Structure 1
Amino acid sequence: MDIHFMAYQATARTEARKVDTQQMLLRSGHRIVARGGFSALSMARIAQQAGMATGNLYRYFTDKATLSVALFERASTHEMHAVFECVNHRAAPIVQLEMLLTAFLQRAHANPQLAYSLVAEPVDPAVEQARNEHRRRWATRFQAVIEDGIEQRQFAPQPAALAATALVGAMAEPLAVPPSYASFCASDIAPLVQFCLRALSA
């Protein structure tokens, strides 16, 4: 067998194991953040859950900030996919938007600590930068639905990008309170969704 091919196979296996270990560590970190927020996260705690020495963790993440960003990206992307998978994309835009907003808030209510951590918990500047990027991603996805609604005259003519950005803020603000205050209730979901729809309506 070609020695170069054997070396390639060995490298590929090593990289695959590294990726698997990184994902395992991220799952452990996700559980910590979902229960206690980013303030509860530490390299030592993740290493303990993974059954490895803390020093070995730095083979996969250079520092806590890098790990925190990776955790934020993983959790936020998962939430976005989960919300948009709930939508019937053949429905009218106003129905799609109602489904999106309802799914977003229901998931936030189901895990208020994770919602607060992703939306408003004080975090490292690198995580805050990732948070701002994900807000833009949410706005871009909402903008597409709003543009369809304007075209079909279900929403009033308006700058769709600005409306989408405002919508993200309206959805995030009620979640920007630590869950220990228990300020966001299930009964708040429908009124908040209707508030957002009225703001866009013709």
Structure 2
Amino acid sequence: MSYKRSSLMQERMEQNRLSILQSARELIAQGGFKEASIQAIAERAGVSTGLVYRYFENKSQILIEVLSNAIQHEVEILNHIAGSDLSPKQKLQKSVTTFVKRAMNSPQLAYALMFEPVDPEMEHERFRSKQLIKQSIKEILAEGKVNGEFEFEDLNTAALGVVGSMTFVVIEPLNPSRNVMFDQNYKDYFVKQIADFCVNAVRRQEGSE
């Protein structure tokens, strides 16, 4: 019986923790980090603020985990594309398209996680996240260089350029202070422009030796 009680308690604790993180993510998606106060998170999760502090030391720790989980999901998507049977050019096009499109579909959340001012601890997690994304892109670029589809001098620099384009290019359209709504046609056009730019930046030019 004690084992069963312990198992149920563990399950309830894990559920509380996931509920807190999900509530924080939803609040960030609505209004950025400023909306995700401990009190607001607790209210949305249906728990007390004291319970939130049982799982997390402070707000920053919650936000870091929300960012980490979100990026891990994006990296899994990119890794799946990188491991597919597509050609390197198609993989790169699809990777950039998928990443930017997902950001455009959740603008407030994407802007907060990637660009909103944060403390140094959170900024460090952002840097780590971009390194994970860069690693996925490096695999695609390396494969493309080996089979002759891509041409560039340094793999790491090329990957940094692609990741920079995938992330920083969406600052303007995602910035909530601009209060601009984009229709689907513009989103599709914008996403294609970025993906084409990244592919053309590394694509082997006709006639290259």
Q: TM-score, normalised by structure 2?
A: 0.85
The alignment status of 1:70 with 2:65, answered yes or no, reads yes
Distance 2:143 2:81 in 1: 18
Change (3 A) 1:127 1:31: same
Could you say which residue in structure 2 is the equivalent of 1:34?
Answer: 29
- Give 1:199's match in structure 2, choosing from 196, 201, 207: 201
Could you say which residue in structure 2 is the equivalent of 1:136?
Answer: 131
Distance 2:76 2:112 in 1: 18
- Aligned identity (percent) is 28
Could you say which residue in structure 2 is the equivalent of 1:180?
Answer: 177
Q: For structure 2, which runs of at least 5 residues remain unmatched after alignment? A: 205-209
Distance 1:61 1:138 in 2: 27
The alignment status of 1:164 with 2:159, answered yes or no, reads yes
What amino acid is the match of 1:180? S
Q: For structure 1, which runs of at least 5 residues remain unmatched after alignment? A: 1-5
Change (3 A) 1:144 1:83: closer
The alignment status of 1:17 with 2:8, answered yes or no, reads no
Name the stretch that deviates more: 158-167 or 148-157: 158-167
Instruction: Count the aligned residue pairs.
Output: 197
CA shift, 1:86, in A, is: 5.9
Could you say which residue in structure 2 is the equivalent of 1:50?
Answer: 45
Please give the per-residue CA displacement for 1:70-111, whole angstroms capped at 9, x wherever unaligned: 111122222333455567710101101101111111111111
CA shift, 1:8, in A, is: 5.9
Name segments (4+ residues, structure 1) moved above 6 Å: none
Distance 1:50 1:58 in 2: 13
Q: TM-score, normalised by structure 1?
A: 0.88
Change (3 A) 1:183 1:193: farther
